[in-house]
Chain A
Amino acid sequence: MSKNELVILDCWASPFCMRVKIALAEKGLDYEERAEDLFGGKSDLLLTSNPIYKKVPVFLHDSKPLCESTVIVSYIDETWPAPALLPSTPYERSQARFWADYIDKKLFDSTSAIWKASGDDAVEGAKKEFVEVLKVLEGALGEKEYFAGDAFGYVDILAIPITSWFLASEKFGNFKVEAECPKLSTWIKRCMEKETVAKVVPDPEKIYEFVINLRKMFGIA
């Protein structure tokens, strides 16, 4: 019989780690969080559990490693089915996976591009692309409370952690997400009111400080 020993190799600022922690919280599961020092020296456990990418999050279920946040969240949903994170029909599931894939391809990179950019033109260009991505997501949300409808689920879990990085982009890009995408902003607030999310997602001000340090490390003016 499985002991159900759950461990996450983690970094507090990583939105990809936050996804896993929110999923575990939604399922009411206890787990051990082991902080990795990504810049000082990755642990042996991380390097042996994720030899391909050497990245966090790594989720260990009774010492069996799983890597890549969307793969991990799907695994958690399948192993502990209630409450369901993915929709119940194959078609709705394919749509949820489509938006998960879109978020994975576009959201974090487009928001980071703003604070990585040097020079006004580059910042403006990055901002424009980011806002376009947000508007596509707003379109997908429509009038619904959450991406799949009435219930907080898979797509919300994958997207909400990345929003903690928006303040940093807003400060470096001199704009406000709320002004550009009010509906999405309302969705952010709605998700952040959930205990499972509020407990996991850090204060965006702390992420902003983290980004300031990252820029120094990357030598961005």
Chain B
Amino acid sequence: MANELILLDTWVSPFGMRVRIALREKGIKFEYKEEDLTNKSDLLLKMNPIHKKIPVLIHNGKPVRESGIIVQYVDEVWHDKAPLLPSEPYPRAQARFWADFVDKKIYDTGRKIWTTKGDEQKSATEEFIGYLKTLEAELGDKPYFGGEKLGYVDVTMIPFYSWFHAYEVSGNFSIESNCPKLMAWAKRCMQHESVSKTLPDPKKVYEFILQLKKRLGIE
């Protein structure tokens, strides 16, 4: 049976990047469809009527939605190629816990950094650094969150590395000086082709945010 994979996505989305990294790590071929989120395709609206969001992975015509769920699905279907989740239940639960932490904290707090000013922005920046330090503590001395190899939490978090420059310029702070271990981890991940081929140029992400702010009417 043909394995037809279509990914509805947009280049700048850290959530979409997670799926692309997972597929590339496993050497799985897929068709990439760039969505214009200001003018969503009929296919996207049909495949994700509840949230109308990307990414959506369409496997032989059937949609899988929500980036974490898609990565787990890909990991289960192609379980013999570059497994991302640990095989034992306890470490697997820990991986899901930390991926959930990233999901709950990183995007929304990061967004506050580039959408606010003054005290609100300063407070968001401090909160954000706090979360990065928590992740650093969890990483410890391991090369990856997954241990010796790139794993589920690494794939969940690394896309935000392409947004770090945008956060830093917007909030006028340095992630490197606050979290050197995390930056070392990020550069280590970038040595993987699946990651370096997927993450966009951070300067382009920053330009994107500037355009988005104009469109949203944020100064």
Contacts and interface: CB of A to CB of B under 8 A. Distances in A.
A63 to B, nearest CB: 12
A93 B76 contact: yes
A144 to B, nearest CB: 17
Given A91-B73, A97-B66, A52 B101 contact: yes
A59 to B, nearest CB: 9
A94 interface: yes
A68 interface: yes
Contact of A93 (B73, B96, B100, B134): B73
Contact of A75 (B59, B72, B89, B101): B89
Interface in A165-198: none
A216 B66 CA distance: 38
Contact of B59 (A91, A98, A101): A91
Contact of B93 (A52, A72, A101, A136): A72
Contacts, number: 52
A102 interface: yes
A74 B62 CA distance: 24
Interface residues of A, number: 21
Describe B's contact surface by its main secondary structure: helix
B94 to A, nearest CB: 8
B7 interface: no
A97 B67 CA distance: 11
Contacts of B73: 90-91, 93-94
Nearest to A67: B97
Contacts of B92: 75, 78
Describe A's contact surface by its main secondary structure: helix
A79 interface: yes
Given A64-B90, A78-B89, A101-B66, 17 more contacts: A52-B101, A68-B96, A75-B93, A78-B92, A91-B59, A91-B62, A91-B73, A93-B73, A93-B76, A94-B64, A94-B72, A97-B69, A98-B65, A98-B66, A98-B69, A101-B68, A136-B50
28 contacts: A52-B101, A66-B93, A66-B97, A67-B97, A68-B96, A68-B97, A71-B96, A71-B97, A71-B100, A74-B93, A75-B92, A75-B93, A78-B92, A79-B89, A90-B73, A90-B76, A90-B77, A91-B62, A93-B72, A93-B76, A94-B69, A94-B72, A97-B69, A97-B72, A98-B69, A101-B66, A101-B68, A136-B50
